[in-house]
Amino acid sequence: MKNQEIIVMGRLNKIWPKNAPMMWINLVKFHLHPISNRNNHVSH
């Protein structure tokens, strides 16, 4: 990880301590499976 990413993550965790974990999981899922996520958005 880059230092900038760690700083941003720390700030987000301070602002949204409850929502941050799910947000990061969603970001990771989107980056790992961008095509399937786009298909899900279209199909729903």
Rounded CA gap, 41 and 22, in Å?
Answer: 18
Residues with Cβ < 8 Å from 3, sequence gap 6 or more?
A: none
pLDDT at 2: 77
- 5: phi then psi, degrees, rounded to nearest 5: -65, -40
Residue 44 pLDDT > 60, yes or no? Answer: no
Write the DSSP symbol of residue 33.
-
Cβ neighbours, 10 Å, residue 44: 5
- Per-residue pLDDT of 6-41, as tens digits, reads 778 777 667 665 666 777 788 787 767 666 656 666
pLDDT at 17: 59
Token pair for residue 38?
Answer: 């786009």
Stronger pLDDT, 44 or 18, i.e. the higher one: 18
Q: Which pTM was predicted? A: 0.28
